[in-house]
Amino acid sequence: MNEASVGHQCPECVAQGQRTQRSARTAFGGTTAGQQGTVTKALIGINVAVAILGLVLSGARAATGGLLSGGSATIQAFGAVIAHTVYLGPDGRFYTGPGPGIHTFPGIDDGGWYRLVTAMFIHYGVIHLAINMWALWVLGRQLESALGRARFLGLYLLAGIGGNVAAYLFSPGSLSAGASTAIFGLFAAYAIIVHRLGGSLSSVVPILVINLIITFTVPGISIAGHLGGLVAGALVGAGLAYAPRNARTQVQVAVLAGVLVLLAFVTLLGPTLRA
């Protein structure tokens, strides 16, 4: 027997009760385990780990800029969004074609479809990384708590992929990367979920507007990537927030799968749409 506040409990009876009792659920069907923010912390850890890997691969260049100047060009050449083949020289510069010592990395049109996922974990400098991780820490924990781990992870990945697909379609020749595609999706989903719960949007709308202004006014930012992430996040967020209670999980899974299929279809049509 185990001592408890109400006396003593049989260990076998407690274990049986835990197996048969349904765990508590959030308003959107997720488990309350999301309140621990495990997925958010894991995503931040992956982003930081990739940045550190870039610093390590930068080798001697790390001492004179390394991560501060963009980290390893190898990381960028391997995983950033770009339509066509990337040619990287041993000096860390990009070239227009193959040659002695030139490393070749396939673009999305050449089979490098993985870039639509890897790009959201690559950053161009410590400031870029820090801003995105701060936003992920603030938004991620709240959304993960509301949605649960699995739903939040699906939202994050689909928003990031959606932004990367948009960057692929509208900026096929640029090496685009960063978690901001997913972050913009989180902004959209957060606004939808707060509205669904009857809360005030006064705290999130100004931040979103500021980020949109920065997107359109600061050079070098992927406008298509940010807007694509925003749209994908809004679609997924609406599906998760407004799924009918009597078939909530089925509808939510269908929305997640549907957005993924749509993004895959658009990617396959990419060369035709750009023609």
What token pair was written down for 153? 């992870």
**Active site residue: 180, 202, 203, 222, which one?**
180
What token pair was written down for 257? 């799968």
Output the CA–CA distances (angstroms, integers) from residue 9 to 3, 12, 18, 42, in the order listed: 6, 9, 13, 36
Q: Which domains does the chain have, with CATH numbers?
A: 26-274 (1.20.1540.10)
Residue 146's nearest CA partner among 193, 113, 87, 106 is 193
Contact 29, 249 (CB under 8 A): yes
For the question of residue 5 being annotated catalytic, the response is no
Contact 107, 82 (CB under 8 A): yes
Indicate the DSSP class of residue 72: -
State the virtual CA torsion across 12, 17, 20, 23 in degrees, nearest 10. -130
Confidence at residue 19, expressed as pLDDT on a 0 to 100 scale: 56
Confidence at residue 10, expressed as pLDDT on a 0 to 100 scale: 72
Confidence at residue 60, expressed as pLDDT on a 0 to 100 scale: 42
For the question of residue 8 being annotated catalytic, the response is no
CB atoms within 10 A of CB 219: 4
Burial of 66 from C-beta contacts in 10 A (0-12 / 13-18 / 19+)? buried
Confidence at residue 17, expressed as pLDDT on a 0 to 100 scale: 55
- Measured CA to CA, the distance from residue 229 to residue 232 in angstroms comes to 5
Name the stretches of the chain with pLDDT < 50. Answer: 60, 62-70
Residue 43's nearest CA partner among 145, 104, 134, 113 is 134
| Helix or strand (DSSP H, E) at 46 | helix 38-57
Confidence at residue 44, expressed as pLDDT on a 0 to 100 scale: 97
pLDDT in tens, 136-192: 999 999 999 999 999 999 999 999 999 999 999 999 999 999 999 999 999 999 999
pTM as predicted: 0.85
Confidence at residue 65, expressed as pLDDT on a 0 to 100 scale: 43
Phi-psi region of 152 (alpha: psi -120 to 50; beta: other; left: phi over 0): alpha
Confidence at residue 7, expressed as pLDDT on a 0 to 100 scale: 56
Q: Output b/e per residue, 98-129; b: 16+ Cβ within 10 A.
A: eeeeeeebbbbbeebeebbebbbbbbbbbebb
Confidence at residue 208, expressed as pLDDT on a 0 to 100 scale: 80
Output the CA–CA distances (angstroms, integers) from residue 184 to 136, 174, 222, in the order listed: 10, 20, 12
- Measured CA to CA, the distance from residue 135 to residue 130 in angstroms comes to 9
Confidence at residue 67, expressed as pLDDT on a 0 to 100 scale: 39
Collapsing DSSP to helix, strand or coil, 258 comes out as: helix
- Measured CA to CA, the distance from residue 86 to residue 98 in angstroms comes to 9
